[in-house]
Amino acid sequence: VAQDILWILLGLLLRLEPGTATLPLLLDSVIQALAELEQKVPATISSHAASALLLFAQDSGPDDVLHRFLLERWDIKDTRLDPRQLSPEFQGLIKDVAQHGIRGRQEYGVVLAPDGSTVAVEPLLAGLEAGLQGNRVVSLPLDSTAAPLDTGAAFPDTGTVVLDIRAASPRFRDASPDGTSSDVGASSPDAPVTSPDVQASSPGAKAKSPTTVDSLLVVTLARDLGLAFLQGPQTWSHSGLGTEGCWDQLSAPRTFTLLDSGASPVTMAFLNGALDGALLGDYLSRTPEPRPPLSHLLNQYYGAGVAGDLGLRSNFRRQNAAALTSAPTLTQQIWRALVLLQRLEPTHPQLQGMSQEQLAEVATNATKEFTEAFLGCPAIHPRCRWGAAPYRGSPRPLQLPLRFLYVHHTYMPAPPCTDFARCAADMRSMQRFHQDTRGWDDIGYSFVIGSDGYVYEGRGWHWVGAHTLGHNTRGFGVAFVGNYTAELPAKAALHTVQDLLPGCAVRAGLLRPDYELLGHRQLVRTDCPGDALFSLLRTWPRFAA
Ligand SMILES: *[C@@H]1O[C@H](CO)[C@@H](O)[C@H](O)[C@H]1NC(C)=O
Ligand SMILES: *[C@@H]1O[C@H](CO)[C@@H](O)[C@H](O)[C@H]1NC(C)=O
């Protein structure tokens, strides 16, 4: 039934007339729409019927040749079903979030999740669908002439889905769909990022053509990452990947504006949706029937707070995705996605005339950037996300890169914040205190670390803070929310400050590679960052005595 529901939803995405959503663009609204479908669609409707709906819908929808090839089930195209199962406001909502896209600085097809992240719905649903199909290893058509897919008529049998028992493995990196020696994806997950055609460099050897793809990784992440790099490696930079944005309002969000014009389509919201689709799809592909209703699964995954299974929580999507797929595997799948797209669409403007070796280089570059600038970085909620008041006066720029990281605890608020609503409220109250009571221009810290899996932007990377008297121009001030006199921050929060945040800042040229870390009390007469936390800091390799 889960699959029926999803097909109907996907069908509606593509079939509805453009509408004006009356519902706020919240992920909870999407989950409610799913729940309504789950209630209204009788359990007797076969998933075949629902699949056919999507098929029908796509006749008039925009053509996505890759989704058609990997996700549609062509054996069942004759069945018909009335798609208008949803109430009008849900139809309007689904129409509004149907497709991910950017026009000017507006990003479309995204919703605000309970954890404060913004999520693109399209890659999320594609991942759910790929996961529900179970068999993720899909054979590639042999070559472009053998796959006349652009006719749109009878679909050839070249897209046979083959079952590979390794696809049921809990880890992508264990799956070696080809079983060939050239499959770098089968090597150690810790192996450095290498080109998938390493064998091509030996004299006389040609890169081996891929024969399969992992449909789940391709429809969520690999295709779009690869294409983003094809679009123009020259103009592409760190800031192009994972661009954040701001909602017009947080309680009833309707429009999302990117902070950076000229952003790559691989925005933060897209990456979030893609990782969520991959993680949930992986879970579904390993879960035997009967599967849980999708609305329940999504409620658990996105639910506020960090209780429950950390392995399946939106708050920890980056860590969990890093465990799900290795860099060599992702490189392989990006390469295969581009090769597949080239075969399905021989006249693709970006792919025409590209050799497999060139595509392999694109895949290697894309994986490296994705791993270093996104997966290996902490998730940082921008100021607008927690409802920051404007800076008072004009901020002074820092001279980057800085040498120091100063560690604080907030002391007040004393309880650690464990969900987005609490952490955001704590940020606002600290900013009020610093601005109104202390008379500062802004919240003092550069960054604040929640126990909800997120970092909250204070003054950020570029502006002088007010955290460590006499030293504010020399280091970033990073504060854990809580009172760590007698207790330690959450493990994930500690990992963020010890490894993720500085590592990411060094790679981006914001922090010197020989940076040092100090406790507030080493520079100013104070108990901050608390006895328990300070004792731990002393054991960290970058601690400066
Ligand atoms: C890949 O990255 C290297 C090193 O930055 C660069 O020289 C090369 O042009 C890139 N290749 C592609 C296809 O983007
Ligand atoms: C901070 O923790 C210490 C040790 O548990 C406690 O004595 C102190 O009262 C706490 N302060 C606040 C503001 O909660």
Candidates 194, 231, 357, 361: which one to mutate for ligand 1, based on the most atoms within 8 Å of Cβ?
361
Ligand 2 atom 1, closest CA: 483
Name the closest ligand to CA 359: 1
Per-residue pLDDT of the chain (545 residues; tens, 9 = 90+): 566 667 666 665 554 444 455 799 999 998 888 787 777 765 544 343 343 334 334 433 456 788 878 876 544 444 444 556 677 888 778 778 878 899 999 999 999 999 999 999 989 988 888 888 888 899 988 764 433 333 332 222 333 333 232 333 333 333 333 333 333 333 333 333 333 433 333 333 345 788 999 999 999 999 999 998 886 544 444 446 899 999 999 999 999 999 988 788 899 999 999 999 999 999 989 988 777 788 888 999 998 666 566 789 999 999 999 999 999 999 999 999 999 999 999 888 889 889 999 999 999 999 999 999 999 999 999 999 999 999 999 999 999 999 999 999 999 999 999 999 999 999 999 999 999 999 999 999 999 999 999 999 999 999 999 999 999 999 999 999 999 999 999 999 999 999 999 999 999 999 999 999 999 999 999 999 999 999 999 999 999 98
**CA separation, residue 412 to residues 417, 432, 433, 526 (Å):** 11, 13, 10, 14
Give one DSSP letter per residue of 418-429, joined into a string.
-SHHHHHHHHHH
Measured in Å, residue 484 CA sits from the centre of ligand 2 at: 8
Give the Cα separation of 349 and 339 in Å (integer).
14
Residue spans per domain, the chain:
2-376, 383-537
Residue 24 and residue 253 in contact, taking contact as beta carbons nearer than 8 Å: yes
What letter represents residue 262's amino acid?
Answer: G
Residue 284 and residue 128 in contact, taking contact as beta carbons nearer than 8 Å: yes
- Between 3.40.80.10, 2.40.30.10, 3.40.50.2000, 3.90.1150.10, what CATH number should domain 383-537 receive? 3.40.80.10
Measured in Å, residue 415 CA sits from the centre of ligand 2 at: 10
Give the Cα separation of 194 and 363 in Å (integer).
10
Give the Cα separation of 524 and 149 in Å (integer).
69
What does residue 316 show for φ and ψ, rounded to 5 degrees?
A: -115, 30
Q: In this structure, what DSSP letter does residue 79 have?
A: -
Candidates 411, 433, 483, 531: which one to mutate for ligand 2, based on the most atoms within 8 Å of Cβ?
483
pTM for the full predicted model = 0.84
